[in-house]
Structure 1
């Protein structure tokens, strides 16, 4: 549906009079997604009221806010928030040069840091030659966003990371902004409390991933340890594990290997506590407990040899292996069986029998050897891709495959919503192909190989000596 007549133009004056501030003031602010909804609603209202220029201006602002920010990509930081069936939402390439020029003229008048940062960042990205002025404006707007838990999960995390990315790209041109960003994050970390949930952890991850906070390493590690132990005391084992893992990494940065090993052991025991808690829950699960025991063992294995005696690592791993084996064996009883409708393979069986029945020995043996000509990888891939497209939910979650005795024999990650070139998608596709190949083999064995083998055994009574004689006459057998 057409948003506005094709020849409609937006001007800086129409943007000023569009009521964008009032639109953003309506409802709760939940990051760029809520801004997109508010601005697009205002744009529709303006168009319906005949304010075409103002409506187009609001649509441009809405489209700018609709994109997802991907700070890990310096040159492609904005992506459509939705891609489906060959269609997508707005992308940077959709903006005309006149649209970007309008943003450049308007951005310094914007007093909303979220909107100012987005417009300035788009101008920096899309106008050639690039304008450092707009990159600096974007950085300064991004770092006006609060460093608190609620704002962080609603998009300020990506904004602060983008500010760091832009600062690193500008290098000396950014002045002291990187130091100022570092100081702001460290201050927010120091002021954070256990009641802020994951905020301390999130901020420490930002510092670690950009090699910031070097002078505060010991203080960061100590606070992460204290928070981990506090959560553990409250019975919040999940957060305790996450904080202890981060504390271990920060202690390692300080060179305190003993404390790093101590926190790794604390992390491992956190997994054990979760396993015990899962087994004693109202609805116990040996399957889940087994995965927790496995994680505990892997954590203990990360402790360096110099610290293993201190934490009884080898003895503890042996103990946990016993718990793992016990939980793994019991987990098989917890699994339900899913059955599908029966398949009539009588025609396949008859064809296989007919391929070898009543033939001379060598002819029957040759027919049997060629009864299955191997997997058709292209067909299996095509079918697997079709299944992932039509039934994506089954692949969104990670999967663990277990043997008959309860041992974990394979794992695959969740597919996520990445593109077809992502490692997660490739791993999921490969797992799907292996699954369908296994199903195909089961059908081939039951419907072709086994019936044909029975006829071959009944009619020809082949012995080991017969196969040795055949092999001795083969030019390809050494």
Structure 2
């Protein structure tokens, strides 16, 4: 039985098992589980040399395969000369997957699939160590054999999602014959059982295209990419009832075909189809609400995520708040001014993070223009309080719980986000990276990644509706409309945005990102004015959350499909 003297050892093992595992990252595969402000959880480099030596001595005798792999990996990561630890880590990672395949073990949350994202993460890490050791170890040969057998088994069983996850790893390290991967992927894509599964077929065609590209066969790669684009058309046809999704899938298909020779006629046909759908886009961001007892707001927030799958938890994060309508915000501000007339007569000043005055409100007793200025300032004042409550009571507790309960990976987040019409083609990885940082509490990275995406995504929504957002000057130079121009109430695009998004969103973006009397996040971030500690300010957190909310909101009414796609992509059950 463990005694007081054993507590340091158990504390060290607890820290080892509580790292955030990022196997694709060759320089930082073990990251802090949580980061908030100037605090973080432990990482390997926090260990002392004596602790590393102790772990090196005990690693071979550890019975639990997962713990043995983690200990050996951490020791080798910190002291690369210990090749015996590299050998042990690779072999232990392989044995973890083999034990799941053979039914003698399960992974987190009862997962029993050797093809799941959890299994692939272990194999990716084993491959990364093998790459660093130049595939010279005997355990690396065992890894090659295991990956090849899993690819073949997924093909034999017609398991397209499992095949794709392992095939990507196989192609990354050229384990199996590349032409065989291409042939198997095409045969699965043409399997009759997948005729009505465009997501899975598209993944398979992309695998085949990648394999042909590796072999420098551009003709065959283009053929497979054309078939992948047709899967997007099929997805559009299956999305009848949501003009925004239909337009998004058609736009992606046209974009995919643009770089392929001989597809001009097909592109023209799809563009005509897109133009017919675009005018029907109207407020599809979804109206959803739920009542919350504010005295128990945190408990309510946590109850929506604890014990649920990652997609369900992300859905709870997306739905945990919603900006009020402009009329409600204005009514609250006007009532405040009426109730506190002396306060309203006092001029107000707003400073940026560098102490510069960026806004002055003369008070409510001046000209109509000055009174409107003051009213907008008070609208920001009340929204500031509401955001603080939302962040402290819902957003932060939910994202912390997700980080605690789920070993989140980029591939899982991409599987949730990839069909969002708010995200332009080629940007889903950026949004997933931003969400990855946000869930980990790395708010500097999350804000830096996601906030520049906002205005481009708004332009993308207008493009889906067939509205051009660039202006050409007298010299033929095209300039894209910036966020301030897009949201200008007197401009050409604000009314169009309000036709696509409920007006509450454009209004909140204006108050949060643009209006100088509010947080003014756009200029503060763009001009590098925010000091490190202020990235955890509630307005910053809410700004990042809102961008993710806008990306997820169009999918909420189709969340069952999101969950199905997540299972197919990751192999993780609901």
State the TM bucket, normalised to the shorter chain.
Answer: 0.5 to 0.7
How far apart, in 2, do the equivalents of 1:252 and 1:433 lie? 34
Equivalent residue in structure 2 for 1:141, among 79, 92, 97: 92
Structure 1 residues 117-136: aligned runs within 5 Å: 117-127=69-79, 130-136=81-87
SS of 1:315's partner is helix
Equivalent residue in structure 2 for 1:416, among 432, 435, 452: 435
Q: Are 2:87 and 2:137, in contact at CA under 8 Å, matched by a contact in 1?
A: no
1:330 is matched with 280
How far apart, in 1, do the equivalents of 2:115 and 2:389 lie? 36
Is 2:150 the partner of 1:150? no
Is 2:32 the partner of 1:80? yes
Is 2:98 the partner of 1:112? no
| Residues 93 and 239 (structure 1), Cα distance of their counterparts in 2 relative to 1, 3 Å cut | same
Is 2:305 the partner of 1:286? no
2:148 is matched with 186
How far apart, in 2, do the equivalents of 1:351 and 1:210 lie? 70
Measured after TM superposition, the shift of residue 321 of structure 1 is 0.5
Q: Are 2:151 and 2:163, in contact at CA under 8 Å, matched by a contact in 1?
A: yes
Structure 1 residues 219-298: aligned runs within 5 Å: 219-230=180-191, 233-279=194-240, 284-298=241-255
- Using structure 2 for the length normalisation, give the TM-score: 0.52
Q: Are 2:232 and 2:249, in contact at CA under 8 Å, matched by a contact in 1?
A: yes
| Residues 118 and 157 (structure 1), Cα distance of their counterparts in 2 relative to 1, 3 Å cut | same
Measured after TM superposition, the shift of residue 254 of structure 1 is 3.1
Measured after TM superposition, the shift of residue 289 of structure 1 is 0.4
Is 2:190 the partner of 1:204? no
SS of 2:95's partner is coil
SS of 2:451's partner is helix
| Residues 203 and 416 (structure 1), Cα distance of their counterparts in 2 relative to 1, 3 Å cut | same
SS of 1:332's partner is coil
Equivalent residue in structure 2 for 1:64, among 4, 9, 16: 16
Measured after TM superposition, the shift of residue 291 of structure 1 is 0.4
Q: CA-to-partner distance for each residue in 1:213-249, whole Å, 9 max, x for gaps?
A: 3xx1111111111122227744122111111111122
| Residues 58 and 154 (structure 1), Cα distance of their counterparts in 2 relative to 1, 3 Å cut | farther
Instruction: State the structure with more CA Rg.
Output: 1
How far apart, in 2, do the equivalents of 1:397 and 1:349 lie? 48
| Residues 72 and 386 (structure 1), Cα distance of their counterparts in 2 relative to 1, 3 Å cut | farther
| Residues 176 and 55 (structure 1), Cα distance of their counterparts in 2 relative to 1, 3 Å cut | closer
How far apart, in 1, do the equivalents of 2:50 and 2:391 lie? 38
1:316 is matched with 266
1:339 is matched with 325
How far apart, in 2, do the equivalents of 1:247 and 1:111 lie? 40
Q: Are 1:82 and 1:88, in contact at CA under 8 Å, matched by a contact in 2?
A: yes
1:102 is matched with 54
Q: Are 2:17 and 2:67, in contact at CA under 8 Å, matched by a contact in 1?
A: yes
How far apart, in 2, do the equivalents of 1:322 and 1:66 lie? 53
Measured after TM superposition, the shift of residue 116 of structure 1 is 1.2
Q: Are 1:224 and 1:246, in contact at CA under 8 Å, matched by a contact in 2?
A: yes
- Using structure 1 for the length normalisation, give the TM-score: 0.62
How far apart, in 2, do the equivalents of 1:210 and 1:77 lie? 18
How far apart, in 1, do the equivalents of 2:45 and 2:365 lie? 58
Q: Give the gaps of 5 or more residues in structure 2.
A: 102-111, 288-323, 335-360, 374-383, 400-415, 459-482, 492-574
Higher relative contact order (CA 8 A, sep 6+): 2
Q: Give the gaps of 5 or more residues in structure 1.
A: 1-17, 19-45, 355-370, 372-381, 445-478
What is the CA RMSD across the aligned residues, in angstroms? Answer: 4.3
| Residues 346 and 443 (structure 1), Cα distance of their counterparts in 2 relative to 1, 3 Å cut | farther
1:299 is matched with 256
Number of aligned residue pairs: give it.
351
| Residues 336 and 189 (structure 1), Cα distance of their counterparts in 2 relative to 1, 3 Å cut | closer
Measured after TM superposition, the shift of residue 275 of structure 1 is 0.7
Structure 1 residues 379-394: aligned runs within 5 Å: none
Is 2:137 the partner of 1:169? no
Q: Which moved more, 1:257-266 or 1:142-151?
A: 142-151
| Residues 176 and 339 (structure 1), Cα distance of their counterparts in 2 relative to 1, 3 Å cut | same
Q: Are 2:160 and 2:204, in contact at CA under 8 Å, matched by a contact in 1?
A: no
1:365 is matched with none
SS of 1:143's partner is helix
Q: Which moved more, 1:294-303 or 1:335-344?
A: 335-344
| Residues 246 and 62 (structure 1), Cα distance of their counterparts in 2 relative to 1, 3 Å cut | same
2:546 is matched with none
2:563 is matched with none
Q: Which moved more, 1:318-327 or 1:82-91?
A: 82-91
1:42 is matched with none
| Residues 270 and 439 (structure 1), Cα distance of their counterparts in 2 relative to 1, 3 Å cut | closer
Q: CA-to-partner distance for each residue in 1:3-47, whole Å, 9 max, x for gaps?
A: xxxxxxxxxxxxxxx6xxxxxxxxxxxxxxxxxxxxxxxxxxx5x
SS of 2:9's partner is helix
Q: Which moved more, 1:88-97 or 1:200-209?
A: 88-97
SS of 1:146's partner is helix
